[in-house]
Amino acid sequence: MKIKIKKNLFFDNKKKPLIIAEISGNHNQSKKVFLDLIDKSHKNGADLVKIQTYEPQDLTIKSFTKGFKINKGTWKNQYLWNLYKKAHTPFKWHFDAFKLARKKNINLFSTPFSKRGVEFLERFKVPLYKISSFEIIDHKLIDLIAKTRKPIILSTGLSNIKEIKEAIKIINKYHNKVVIMHCVSEYPTKLENINFQRINKLKKIFKKNLIGISDHTNNIYSSQMSLAFNIVAIEKHVKLSEKSMSTDSKFSISLKNLNDLRKTTDSLFKGINSKGNFKINKENKSSLIFRKSIFSIKDIKKGEIINNKNIDTFRSKVGLSADNYFKILGRKSKKNIKKFSPIYNNFF
């Protein structure tokens, strides 16, 4: 099963997962940092780079009453309006972002949060869309995005099965090019709360869809572990360095860690998807020196019987393999053999 994004770029459950670098609010209201993150995420191994398309008025009402104040977590005591004012990506920055993407062949796309956002992004001919976990119940928005008939990444943090099915049903009115992302909406997510078995449940229930992971831990361990579940996409929030501070930095990884994730994903995918045979590869063959062979432990004359007093087993593997020890006991030597010489089959 696979979903085409553009020429030579697919979500494919028979290929290694695509790595998505999420910029989010890690630009910290610096356009230079924003563009640097897009460029450097691509250079450090991201197959796709994602931004967020909203301004505060697309997400919330400018209210500073109790119902709009965050009580717990990373953004505790902040009002929604103020948070989104700090974290949003100005619409005017998109022009330079997509210009950079075209120039450097970066696969750039976005998460819109409103009709305004969808219509704006269509101007840039984005190849796919992301629907965030919190928007999975915004059926109006899902319908707008699905109408574009472009592939959709659907994040499922906080969602129950009923909510996911309802979202998929809306999308299916137009297409079924959907990657369902396992996600835990805890920022940052503790490793013990990553809930990997939910991936298997999503696979079992949504058999016609591909499954990925949107990982909000502040390291790459769970992303690496997710390869064992045959996922097609890994999404990580990315910041310039470990020292970067922003609204989302606590659950983001550095560019260096992104590069490490790229390298380990490539290697681990090969290891997980190997054929499982017992054929010795080129790298293993050099270790054969540590196996034992049969050697003489005294001078053996022609016609002498081989016994446990004149042979023993030692490293390295240069003569008859040690598993022939009992097979040659009692056999007669055809030649004189010097002490500590390797024994070969044609000696008998």
DSSP letters for 148-175: TT--EEEE-TT--HHHHHHHHHHHTTT-
Same domain, 177 and 308: no
Q: Is the pLDDT of residue 283 over 70?
A: no
Percent of the chain residues past pLDDT 90, beyond the cut: 80
- Digit-coded pLDDT (tens) for 54-102: 999 999 999 999 899 998 888 888 899 999 898 899 999 999 999 999 9
pLDDT, greater one: 48 or 317: 48
Task: Give, as one character, the DSSP assignment of residue 119.
Answer: H
pTM attached to this predicted model: 0.85
Same domain, 236 and 317: no
Same domain, 202 and 332: no
How far apart CA 164 and CA 145 sit, in angstroms, is: 16
Same domain, 193 and 318: no
How far apart CA 148 and CA 129 sit, in angstroms, is: 9
Nearest residue to 143 via CA among 120, 126, 166 = 166
CATH number, position 311: 3.90.1210.10
Same domain, 94 and 147: yes
Domain stops at, among 272, 299, 327: 272
Q: Is the pLDDT of residue 292 over 90?
A: yes
Would you state the pLDDT for residue 44? 96
Would you state the pLDDT for residue 278? 67
Number of domain units in the chain: 2
Dihedral (Cα; 240, 245, 250, 256), 10-degree rounding: 20
| Cβ atoms within 10 Å of 6's Cβ, excluding its own | 10
| Least confident interval from 135-149, 245-259, 261-275, 334-348 | 261-275
How far apart CA 38 and CA 208 sit, in angstroms, is: 32
Would you state the pLDDT for residue 276? 65
Q: Is the pLDDT of residue 279 over 80?
A: no
CATH number, position 181: 3.20.20.70
Same domain, 138 and 203: yes
Those residues with Cβ within 8 angstroms of residue 154's Cβ, 6 or more apart along the chain or in another chain: 130, 131, 136, 164, 167, 168, 171, 178, 179, 180, 181
- Digit-coded pLDDT (tens) for 259-273: 999 999 999 988 887
Burial class of residue 12, CB neighbours in 10 A (0-12, 13-18, 19+): middle
How far apart CA 289 and CA 65 sit, in angstroms, is: 74
**Residue environment code for 303-325, b if the CB has 16+ CB neighbours within 10 A, otherwise e:** eeebeeebbebeeeebbbebeeb
Backbone φ, ψ for residue 39 (5° rounding): -65, -50
Backbone φ, ψ for residue 330 (5° rounding): 90, -10
How far apart CA 324 and CA 345 sit, in angstroms, is: 9
Same domain, 201 and 340: no
Same domain, 268 and 232: yes
Domain stops at, among 225, 252, 272: 272
Do the domain assignments include residue 118?
yes
Confidence of residue 343 (pLDDT cuts 50, 70, 90): very high
Do the domain assignments include residue 67?
no
Same domain, 239 and 327: no
Do the domain assignments include residue 72?
no
Domain stops at, among 251, 272, 293: 272
Query: Contact, 187 vs 175, CB < 8 A?
Result: no
Residues constituting the chain: 348
3-class state of residue 266 by DSSP: helix
Those residues with Cβ within 8 angstroms of residue 63's Cβ, 6 or more apart along the chain or in another chain: 79, 81
Q: Is the pLDDT of residue 151 over 80?
A: yes
Q: Per the structure block, which two tokens stand in for 177?
A: 């090019």
Confidence of residue 317 (pLDDT cuts 50, 70, 90): confident
Query: Contact, 169 vs 213, CB < 8 A?
Result: no
Residue 319 lies in domain: 282-347
Same domain, 300 and 243: no
Calculate the average pLDDT of the chain. Answer: 93
What distance, in Å, lies between the first and last C-alpha atoms of the chain?
A: 59
How far apart CA 100 and CA 148 sit, in angstroms, is: 24
How far apart CA 65 and CA 179 sit, in angstroms, is: 37
Query: Contact, 322 vs 291, CB < 8 A?
Result: yes
3-class state of residue 325 by DSSP: helix
Q: What share of the chain is helix, strand, coil (3-state, %, to 5)?
A: 40, 20, 40
Element at 210 (helix H, strand E):
strand 210-215
Q: Strand pairing of 311-315 and 292-296?
A: antiparallel
Same domain, 245 and 152: yes
- Digit-coded pLDDT (tens) for 190-207: 999 999 999 999 999 999
